[in-house]
Amino acid sequence: MSHVLLSAEEPARSSSRAGEIGVLAPLLGFRMRRIHSHLTRAFSTRLGERALKPGGFSALGLIAANPGLSQKMLSDELGQDKATVVALLDELERRGWAERRRDVADRRRHHLHVTPEGQAALDWMAAQAIENERDVVEALSPDEARLLLDMLDRVYRRAYPLED
């Protein structure tokens, strides 16, 4: 089954400071990117000097949730190229928040781990992230918010299916 959210014949209305959004109306990517950009900017401001490069908070969160994660898996999950992930990891290591441990069987591979200092920083940043999104999420009921997260996960799995 193939379908699109909207077609050019039935344009969606969207609140925009610029007015209409035209050909961008049926594009999920545009709408997600627009929200992401605003939330990321506000989050960085909220964190102040503790702010990380874009993707750093997500990287730290994924490493904490998956101790021993490989750099390749982190790169895949973040949707970032290898060089970008290496720069993120360099920053996390410089701050003492994460470490790369060589695989004993394959010295070319690294396993990623969060340090106790990194876990404390992550806990603080996670609380800040929740506060950062609170007003935005309150536009939805609790059921709608859960449904939105479920739908976004379904879209993600469709865009990036798990490999067998």
The 10s digit of each residue's pLDDT in 126-160 is 999 999 999 999 999 999 999 999 999 999 999 88
The 10s digit of each residue's pLDDT in 27-36 is 999 999 999 9
Q: Which of 97, 114, 109 is nearest to 70 (CA)?
A: 109
Q: What is the DSSP letter of 11?
A: P
Q: Whole-prediction pTM value?
A: 0.83
Asked whether 124 and 78 are in contact (CB, 8 A), the reply is no
Identify the band that residue 103 occupies on the pLDDT scale cut at 50, 70 and 90.
Answer: confident
Sign, Cα dihedral of 24, 29, 33, 34: positive
pLDDT score for 134: 95
Q: Which of 19, 115, 103 is nearest to 60 (CA)?
A: 115
Question: Whole-angstrom Cα distance, residue 22 to residue 29?
Answer: 14
